[in-house]
Each structure stands twice: as structure tokens, then as C-alpha cells.
């Protein structure tokens, strides 16, 4: 299986690197200030005031992350699906019906497992992970995805299932 960076993932990584850099800066600054001799009251005077701003900032930042998330939930809604594909995971294979998907379709995957828990991850022809859903015995998870690009896609297992977990892959075609 080949993998490559998706633009979404790179954006997330960049955001994280940015946060990390900001945090590292703070920790370096505090460490450098640690050797000075400042009365604790002076530190807390500013510290408590800043803390309120810091709290407000975090609530705003995390809150907007949570609210934004609600608009992009991957959970199945009122499906506009033009095709249903049944997928079942088993030790150590994927079975899929039908096996090809016409390009442009909005597919609703009905995903389950024949034995233990598996995870269905779908990689596009460039090797970018489009998303995933769990394959659980006794349950059917519905995953809606749109296929705009023709080519060879890959299913891989994203839930540990045993000694050939990493071999549990299957290619499928999205055709014109």
C-alpha cells in the first residue's frame, strides 16, 4: 500500500506544529524568566489578570473547534446515496459487493464484520486516507463517501485484529 499526505491532514499537522511552537516559546520564556527575582505578588497581579484572558481565549478557541465540528460530522445523515456497497471484514480479508463503483457516485457503505472488530479505512488513488469507520460484529455502520476521481482505491484495516492485521487490504476500482 502506498500512502501520501492529504491537504486536510497537512493543514491539521501545520496547525499542531503552530500550537507546539507557541507552547515551546512560552516554556522557553518562562524558563528564562525563572532565574530572575520578582516578588510573587507582582507575578500574580499580572498573572491573574492574564489568566482571565487566557481562559476566555481557550474557551473561544476550543468552543469554536467543537461548534465547527458539528457542521462536518462524518455520521450518516439523510443519505443522498446513489449506490449502496456492502462491506464485511473478516480475519484477514475484506469482502465487498458490488466490487466496482461508477465515478461520481455517492456511495453508502454498509460495513460490518464476520468475526472480530476491524476498521475500514479507505485510501484514494494517491494514497490519501479519505476517512474510516469501524467494522463491528453484530452491527452495521453506514459510511457515506463521494467518489469523484476514477482509479484504484484501497481498503485497509484500521482496528487491530490479529497477526495479519497489516495485511488486511483490498483494492477496488472506481470506473468511468
Partner 1 sequence: MSQAATATEAANTNGGVLHPLGEKFNPNTSKPQNLVGWLFGGTGLALFALMALVGLLMRFTQADTVGVSPEWFYRLMTLHASGMLAGALLSMMGGLWFVVRAVVPGLSLGRAIASWLAIVAGAVLIVVAVLIGGFAAGWTFLFPLPFDASGQWSTWAAVTFIIGMGLVGVGFMVYCIDVLKATTQAYGGLSGALGVKWLRGKDPTGPPPQVIAATAVTIQGVICSAVGMTIVMALLDHTIDGQVALDALWAKNLTYFFGHTIANLIIYLAAGMIYVLVPLYAGRQWKLSKPLAIGWLFTIVFVMTAYSHHLYMDFVQPGAPQMISLVASSAAAIPVAVVTIYTGMMLIWGSRFRWTLTSVLLYLGFAGWAIGGSGAVIDSLIPINFRLHNTLWVPAHFHNYLMMGVGMWMMALVSYMLERAAGRTASRRTTIWAPLLMVGGGYGFIFSWYISGALGIPRRWAVQPIGTENYSLVASIFAIVFLIGFFMLLLEFFSLARTALARRREAPPEPALASIAGASTEADLALGNAPEPLLRSPFGIAVTVGLAVIASFALLPPISEASEATIGFHHLAHAVQFFIGAMLAAALASTPAIARRITPRWTNIGLITVILLPAGMLLFMIPAIYTDIEDENFLHASYHFVVLILGFLLGLGASTLGRTAGWAVLISSVGMGLMFAAGVTGG
Can you give the binding site for Cu ion, defined by CB under 5 A?
118, 157, 161, 168
| Least gap, CB of 142 to Cu ion (angstroms) | 19
The item of partner 1, Cu ion, none sharing an interface with residue 150, based on CB under 5 to 8 Å by kind, is none
Return the number of the residue (42 or 176) whose C-beta is nearest partner 1: 42
Q: How far is the CB of 7 from Cu ion (least distance, A)?
A: 28
Nearer to partner 1, 43 or 103 (CB): 43
Which of partner 1, Cu ion, none does residue 118 bind (CB under 5 to 8 Å by kind)? Answer: Cu ion
Which H or E element spans position 57?
A: helix 40-71
Buried b (16+ CB within 10 A) or exposed e, 53-88: eeeeeeeeeeeeeeeeeeeeeeeeeeeebeeebebb
Q: Which is nearer to partner 1, 12 or 83 (CB)?
A: 12
Complex with partner 1: residue 164 or 175, whichever CB lies closer: 164
Q: How far is the CB of 10 from partner 1 (least distance, A)?
A: 6
Mapping DSSP to helix (H, G, I), strand (E, B) and coil, where does residue 162 land? Answer: coil
103 binds, among Cu ion, partner 1, none (CB under 5 to 8 A by kind): none
Find the shortest distance in angstroms from Cβ 102 to partner 1: 24
When the beta carbons of 133 and 157 are compared against Cu ion, the nearer one is 157
Asked whether the beta carbons of 3 and 126 are under 8 A apart, the reply is no
CA atoms of 123 and 154, how far apart (whole Å): 5
CA distance 114 to 137: 6
**Residue 101 interacts with, from partner 1, Cu ion, none (CB under 5-8 Å by kind):** none
CB of 176 to partner 1, least distance (A): 26
Q: Which of 140, 89, 98 is nearest to 117 (CA)?
A: 89
Question: Quick one: what does residue 8 bind among partner 1, Cu ion, none, with the CB cut-off 5 to 8 Å set by partner type?
Answer: partner 1
Q: For the chain, how far is it from start to end, CA to CA, in angstroms? A: 23
CB atoms within 10 A of CB 172: 19
Amino acid at each position: 500500500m502506498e500512502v501520501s499526505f492529504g491537504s486536510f491532514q497537512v493543514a491539521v499537522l501545520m496547525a499542531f506544529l503552530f500550537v507546539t511552537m507557541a507552547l515551546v516559546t512560552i516554556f522557553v520564556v518562562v524558563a528564562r524568566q525563572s532565574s530572575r527575582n520578582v516578588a510573587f505578588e507582582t507575578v500574580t497581579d499580572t498573572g491573574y489578570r492574564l489568566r482571565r484572558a487566557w481562559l476566555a481565549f481557550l474557551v473561544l478557541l476550543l468552543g469554536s473547534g467543537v461548534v465547527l465540528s458539528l457542521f462536518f460530522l462524518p455520521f450518516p445523515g439523510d443519505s443522498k446515496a446513489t449506490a449502496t456497497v456492502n462491506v464485511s471484514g473478516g480475519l484477514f480479508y475484506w469482502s465487498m459487493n458490488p466490487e466496482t463503483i461508477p465515478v461520481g457516485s455517492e456511495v453508502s457503505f454498509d460495513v460490518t464484520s464476520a468475526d472480530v472488530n476491524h476498521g475500514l479505512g479507505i485510501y484514494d488513488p494517491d494514497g490519501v486516507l479519505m476517512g474510516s469507520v469501524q467494522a463491528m460484529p453484530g452491527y452495521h455502520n453506514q459510511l457515506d463517501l463521494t467518489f469523484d476521481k476514477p482509479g484504484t482505491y484501497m481498503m485497509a484495516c484500521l482496528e487491530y485484529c490479529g497477526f495479519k492485521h497489516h495485511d488486511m487490504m483490498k483494492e477496488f476500482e472506481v470506473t468511468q
